Structure formats: structure tokens, C-alpha cells
Amino acid sequence: MNRFRVSDLGSAFRFHALRYTLTFACVVWLFQLANGQAIDFCGVLPPNSAAGPDPSSFLYDRFGNSYDAATLNAPNVSNQNCTAGYYQLEFNGVPANLEPTICQVFEDLAALIPQRVNTTTCGDIITPTPVKILVEPSTAGGNVLGQASPLYIQTPQECVGPVTLSRVYQKLNGGYFNNQIGFDGLLKIRISPPNPWHVDWTTPPLSNEFDLYSVVLHEALHILGFASLIGVNGNQASAAGFSIWDQLLTTTTAYNPNGSSPNIEPLLESNCTNNCWDLNNGTFPNASSFQNAVGNNCSANSNLDFAIGNPPIAPLAGGGGTIPNDNGAMLQMLSHLNSNCNGQNIDYVMQPSISVGISRRNITQAELDILCEMGFSVGNCDGCYVASQFIYEPPLAQGWDLFEYCCTKDYYTCVNKPLIIPFEELLCRHFSNSTGMTISAAFDHGPNANLSTVNIVGNTIVFSATAQGRYSIAYTVKGCDCIMNNYVFDLFVGPCLDCIGIDPCDNLSCANGFEDFDATGLGGTSSMTLNNALGGLWVYDGPNHQNTPDVCQETGGNKFIQIGILQWEPEGVAIRLQEPIEPGCKAVISFKASASAVSALDIFGSENHPCHPSESLINIGCIPTDCGGEIYDPKCIATVPITNIASLTILSQQSKFFNSLINLGKH
């Protein structure tokens, strides 16, 4: 495993040569109680539940709360903000005198941990996006001075207990998230603490003051990932899964601060193939044994000590004799470090307590080692990481300009026909400093999982399905040190059109009145299957780069396609012919159609199919388009007026059925 070496401290020192130097010495401040009684100052975030209908849009904190991403972008967020390196802090109700110190902490962290810049295997540079932190006043009482958490999305889960990489982790390691949707971390600071804040990070506090820099730095490290997601019963406390921190937790029969610790075991176990993690049942046969061990960590009342790293880098705080009885207590005990475990005396930033009058704390060597072990680049230590351009592949039908990314692929097959997808096509937009990055598992993540089979064969994913539809395929990317994360993409399954029984003299197309297609109503599923099955994607170079014709059905059973004719978003369907129309031959084009308003249908003919959007967006009308390997050169055949009007009443939202008044007429 990669570690930060002592000799690297010189390079870390040079980030701020003057006023804002981060000093990474193990200065002993803890329990100098002459300045005041130490208090546990780090609090649990208040309960919150997302109210939206789509869990894939939810964000989760380290305490299991869920948030609507759009709500976190609500207009009540003030315009006050600061840019601290690659951090973008947005303050909402925080007093102005606290803001400079908070910004300084994140500026120093941005200097300490550079943001990676990755390049896809086909050459696209992924421009780093700012790490957005929402900073608000804490409403907690008592001794709580601050609360914080990174935010996670719920990645596809093959099992209970996947490790999920936070948005902060992904962004720091060169992954991408749409910065218009939600925040990456939450920070709450007590506005009126029991004792006043000391806000000047360049001078020591008075004997009755809490050092704001130390508290914010502590909370900032929670945002970076010093955060357990293991609940009181040993299961995941958040719908997001476990954290990379949890993956690194270990137990030992006696933590030794001065040498080797014996009998080291991982707290969570995995086969390092499927991203599935469980509490080590060999160490903890039941939940009460786990709870008692955590509560009595680093004491004579337990034969186990908890630490992070193998070999252990630092001991965990535990309960100090208090047995955790809920998720919040367990999460706090496993997310902090123990400064005096078994005779140790190190002033960790991530210890759970602080006193008034204690001077500014600085990141210790062990905490630097932990940051590196979690996968960050710290000084000369290059932690093992994985990151991605996308977690969920955006729906192509609503954004064809995604083909501007060279790694974007659209996957289509027909019923019962296997589709073989090479790993390299999917790994194109995944990043790691491991030369052995691979896909270790794959599974169907969608509602049609019972209709499909997904297997890994060699360096490929082999998929097949027994029914038409949209399938969400999840896969696990694994880098070095068993660092894994799950990702998902969609593929589409349509009918296998059989032209054998259709005489070309009767019908040059195999469309068969669109009766072979499942009517899925409004949305991207039918448009993807329709386009791929009939003649290829038809996407023109317009303002929205969209083309989503729909397969619908009359209440009487007849199926038809709905094509949009809006000026800003005309749609089209390409239909492949069984054989070419030879010179001197005559073809008769007939169809039934109606429209919601008087309009016209343009008909074109071409030797080659339209360009794929990854090659070029086509010119509309009878204008050639260079597809790269061939020319799409449509000829204008006819413009057919559609004068019979249909009411087109949708019987229910997103329904595949329309009423019987579509009034199709022969043309």
C-alpha cells in the first residue's frame, strides 16, 4: 500500500511559505486541561429526508440522511461565497467575521491535496470541477461546535453493503459531476458557541476561546472522507453503502503505538471481485459483540482495539466505555481518532474533543498517511484511487451531444441476441493509477433484471434479454488495493425484425406497421429501439440535438409512431430497405398518418444510412453530410401534406395508450 513518507514533509511545507503555512508536526496539546475542560465538539447532522420521486437523484450524508439535489440548490442560498483553491464555499447565514477563517482552511487543504486531472483513453481531458461546500449555521445545542459530511449518491448495488465513493472523493481524484446539481459536502458551524470563537488563525486563542480554524479543519477532514457509514448493528447506516474509510478499518488484539500490532483483521470483508462488504463475522459473531468492542475500544474491558490501516496507522476513538446504542453514536465512534490509546499521546486533528485556549491544531503525519491510504495525492505519496467521468451514463435520447465525448457509446441488440461489450469501451472514461484497472463484476440493475442475463467472459460483458425494453447494466471497476466503485449504463433491446417472410415487391421495408415493437409511450426507450432496429439513428445538427419518436398504441390495439414536428425539434425515422431501388424502377410509398395540426411530412431517400451521432450530426433537408467514412446524401422525394386532425389525448401520463381518435388517414 502507498504511504506518505517522513521525507515528504519538506515538500508539504512549501505550499504556503509565509502566513498560511500548514505545519504537520505531532504537537502535543490534548488534555492540557489547565486551559479548560475538553468537550466532545463534533455533532451529528439533523435528520433530513428527500421528498422527490427519484432515488437516483438523492444525495446522502454520512449519517444516513437523504437530500433532494435540487433542494440543496435552492434560491435561499446567499450570494456570499469564496473560492478557496478548487473549493467553492457557499455561505448561507454564516456571520461575515467567521468566513475568512473557514475559507483559509479549505485554501490550505487545496494546497495540500492537488486535484487530479485525468484523460480518457481516446484523448479527452476531463476538466476538473469545483468542490462545492454548503456552509450554514449549526442549530445544535450543548457542546456541539460543528457538523459536517461529504455527500454520496446511491450507486447501483448488487448486494447490501457496497463501498461508495463520495462526490468529494470523485472530484478530488479527477472525476466529474454536474456542478449545477447539488453540493458535494455540508458544513455547519455553531454561530454562538458556549465560549467565543478565536478567528485569527495566525495567533493563539485566549484562555476562554475556541480555535475556529481547528474546528473547521476537523470538520473539513470529515468532508474529505474521515467518515464511517457503519451502523450500530454492523450494517450500512446509509442507503449509499459503506465508505472508503470503512474499507480501511481494522481490529487488533492490542494496538501498539510504538511498534507492530498483533492479530490484525479487517473490520469489513469482501472477495475483492464483487463490491460487496460485510462485517467480519469471524471477529464479531453478533451485533452485541461488535457494539461492546467499539464501546470498550482501547481499554482493559475489551480484547480488541480498532484502528485504520493495515498495518494500523492510527487508533479509532471508540466509546471510552460507553456502548453505542444507535447509528449516530456508532458513526461518531468509528469516524474519529484516539489520541491516548494504550499510552499514545498524539494531538490528532480528528480527535473528538477540544478545549478552550488550545492553539491551532495541524494535520499530523498519521492523518497524512490516512489521506494517502484513502486514495488522495498528498506530497510525494500517490494514493491508490479510482474515479470516473460519469457514475450514471446520461440518457442519450435526451442529449445526443454527449457523443462529443469520444467514449460515449450506444448499445442495442434484439431479443435473445447476445451483445458482447469489451471492457475497454467502458473503461475509456474511468481513471486509476493502477495499471491493472479492470471490471470485476457486472449485473442488471434495472426493473427488468429477471428478463436478462449478464456475464463476464474474459475481458467482455455478455448481455442478452428475453424481452424488449431499456436495461440498466451496472459494473464494478476495480483498481489497486481492492478500491472499487459501481457504475451503470443503459442499453436497449428491440425486436429482431425478420424480413424473410416479406416479399420486397410487396414491401421493401420490414417495419410491418410497427407492430413488432413494444408500445412504451413517451420517453427514450421506444425511440432508441425504433431507430436502431429500423435504420439507424437520425440526429440533425439543431439547437437541441434530440430525436425521440415514440411507439404508441390505440386503445383498439393498433400501434403507430408519434413524431414531433416542432420547428425547434423536428424528429425523423430512418427505415432501411430490403434491397435498393434500381434505376428505372418505380417505388410506391404509402402510409397512414394524422397530425394535431395541419402539417407536412418530408420524405427523403439515400444510398447510405444517416451518420451516427458519434461521426457527425446530419444536415437537415437535402444537404449532404460527411460521416467520415462515407457521405450521407439524401434526395428529396416528396413533401406530403397531413391534413386530417387527431385529438391525441394521452390517457395517463407517460402512457403508451392514446384514445381512439387519432384519425389516421391514407397517404
Specify the pLDDT at position 524: 55
Specify the pLDDT at position 352: 96
Distance CA 171, CA 162 (A): 20
**Cβ count within 10 A of residue 213:** 23
The band of 18, judged by pLDDT with boundaries at 50, 70 and 90, is: very low
User: Which is nearest to 363 in space by CA: 112, 36, 557?
Assistant: 112
| H or E element at residue 212 | helix 212-224
Query: pLDDT per residue over 276-317, tens digit each?
Result: 999 999 999 999 999 999 999 999 888 999 999 999 999 999
Query: pLDDT per residue over 122-151, tens digit each?
Result: 888 888 899 999 999 999 999 999 999 999
The band of 26, judged by pLDDT with boundaries at 50, 70 and 90, is: very low
Span 256-271, mean pLDDT? 95
Query: pLDDT per residue over 465-486, tens digit each?
Result: 999 988 999 999 999 999 999 9
What rounded mean pLDDT belongs to the chain?
85
Specify the pLDDT at position 592: 87
| pLDDT at residue 514 is higher than 50 | yes
Query: pLDDT per residue over 69-105, tens digit each?
Result: 877 765 555 557 899 999 999 999 999 999 999 999 9
Task: Look at 568 and 645; give whichever has higher pLDDT.
Answer: 645
Greatest Cα pair distance in the chain: 104
Question: And the C-alpha cell for 37?
Answer: 475542560
SS3 state at 269: strand
Where would I find the H helices in 54-138? Answer: 99-112
| pLDDT at residue 597 is higher than 80 | no
The band of 6, judged by pLDDT with boundaries at 50, 70 and 90, is: very low
Specify the pLDDT at position 595: 83
Specify the pLDDT at position 1: 44
Distance CA 74, CA 460 (A): 43
Specify the pLDDT at position 401: 60
**Nearest 5°: phi and psi at 588?**
-105, 125
Asked if 456 and 273 count as a contact pair (C-beta separation under 8 A), the reply is: no
The band of 521, judged by pLDDT with boundaries at 50, 70 and 90, is: low
**Helix 327-334 to helix 287-295 angle, to the nearest 10 degrees?**
50
User: Which is nearest to 521 in space by CA: 495, 496, 553?
Assistant: 553
Where would I find the H helices in 70-132? Answer: 99-112
Specify the pLDDT at position 503: 83
Query: pLDDT per residue over 189-233, tens digit each?
Result: 999 999 999 999 999 999 999 999 999 999 999 999 999 999 999
Distance CA 263, CA 661 (A): 76
**Residue 416: CA atoms inside 13 Å, Cβ hemisphere, count?**
2
Q: What is the four-CA torsion angle of 446, 447, 451, 455, rounded to 10 degrees?
A: 20
| pLDDT at residue 329 is higher than 60 | yes
Specify the pLDDT at position 222: 98
| Percentage helix, strand, coil for the chain under 3-state DSSP, each rounded to 5 | 20, 25, 55
Query: pLDDT per residue over 379-436, tens digit each?
Result: 899 999 999 987 666 555 555 566 666 777 889 999 999 999 999 999 998 999 988 9
